[in-house]
Structure formats: structure tokens, C-alpha cells
Amino acid sequence: MTVAVETGLWQLDASASTVALRHKTLWGLVTVKGAFTGVASKGEVRPDGSATGTLTLEVASLDTKNPKRDAHLRSADHFDADNFPEITFVARNVELGDDNAAHIVGQLTVRGVSRPLSFIARLVDSNAEALTLEGEFTVDRHQFGVSGNQLGMIRGLTTVETTLRFRRATS
């Protein structure tokens, strides 16, 4: 069953949304988890049912529940928050399929480096005033110049999990 999504402008409800990441460290023995608390997004559903939008993450808001690690992740070794305070994803096209799977095609920018990114999200809730998308994808941090790999302890891909709750924009 496909859920119809109302056309128009939509704004992220940050209090009901999460953008989290997880990455294995210590040669794959430990998984570091974190979430961005500074998240903003807006989008538009077009009359043909396709959509576009932008998601912005404040790098300084990354919280792994370890202040020393968080400071290191914000440093030039990793995200370089002083020079690149935001991570952005621009969804150039979002198409909703028959099974409520949203095929999302866009561009991810981290540390000033942009790369194409496409993934499948799922529309898990929708009505005339709100909708929720859940998605998961992986990123190779080296493609964006995120290094900080002392002693080869950090390998592999970073997994990003999102739950994005949008509300109809009022203006």
C-alpha cells in the first residue's frame, strides 16, 4: 500500500528526529556511537509526487557521550568543525515507490568535499500535517578527507541512521 504525501513545503521537527552514526574502532572490537543534536532540514513535495530537500548537521553538536572523544572528532584530525561547521545532504530527487520505499538521490558534503549519495529510506508515517522517513546508509570517511586513524584502529565504513519527522511548513 502506498501512502500519498501532501504537496508543498515541509520543515524538520528536530525534537522528533535523529541522525546517528556508528563506527567500529580498535580494529573492529569496539563500536563508537554518536548523534548530532543540531539538525535542520526543509523540503518540498512537488505536484508529481517527487521531492527535494536539504539536511544540515552542526558538526559541533556530535555527541558520543565522551567529551574528550567529541573534542577530538571536532578537531582537524576528523571533521575540522572550526573550518567546516556543517555537514549537508542535498536531496536532488526523492521518489516514493509502491511499497513506501523512498529512493533518495543527492549529494553529501563533509569537510568541503562533495560526493554523490543515493539510498533507500522508508516512509513509516504520513498524514496531511506530518510525515516520517527512516533510512540507513554507509559512508567511507576517507572519501571526505576525514582521517585521524592512529595505529590503524579505525577501519571500514561509517553507518548513518536517520529518523526524520517533517511537519507541513506554515509559511
User: Has residue 72 been placed in a domain?
Assistant: yes
Phi first, then psi, for residue 137 (nearest 5°) are -150, 165
d(CA 14, CA 108): 19
More confident residue, 115 or 1: 115
* pLDDT at residue 128, rounded to an integer: 87
User: Has residue 155 been placed in a domain?
Assistant: yes
d(CA 119, CA 9): 22
For the segment 96-112, the average pLDDT, to the nearest whole number, is: 93
User: Has residue 1 been placed in a domain?
Assistant: no
User: Has residue 128 been placed in a domain?
Assistant: yes
User: Has residue 3 been placed in a domain?
Assistant: no
For the segment 82-103, the average pLDDT, to the nearest whole number, is: 94
Q: What is the pTM of this model?
A: 0.89
Q: Which domain holds residue 127?
A: 8-168
* pLDDT tens-place string over residues 28-56: 677 889 999 999 999 999 998 899 999 99
Phi first, then psi, for residue 97 (nearest 5°) are -90, 180
CATH number assigned to the domain comprising residue 37: 2.40.128.110
pLDDT band at 140 (very low <50, low <70, confident <90, very high): confident
User: Has residue 111 been placed in a domain?
Assistant: yes
CA distances from 105 to 50, 82, 90, 121 (A): 11, 29, 9, 11
Overall domain count for the chain: 1
* pLDDT at residue 151, rounded to an integer: 42
* pLDDT at residue 145, rounded to an integer: 76
Q: Which residues, at least 6 apart from 36, have a Cβ–Cβ distance to it below 8 Å?
A: 19, 20, 57, 58, 61, 62, 63, 87
User: Has residue 92 been placed in a domain?
Assistant: yes
Provide the mean pLDDT of the chain: 88
pLDDT band at 153 (very low <50, low <70, confident <90, very high): very low
User: Has residue 2 been placed in a domain?
Assistant: no
Amino acid letter at 125?
Answer: D
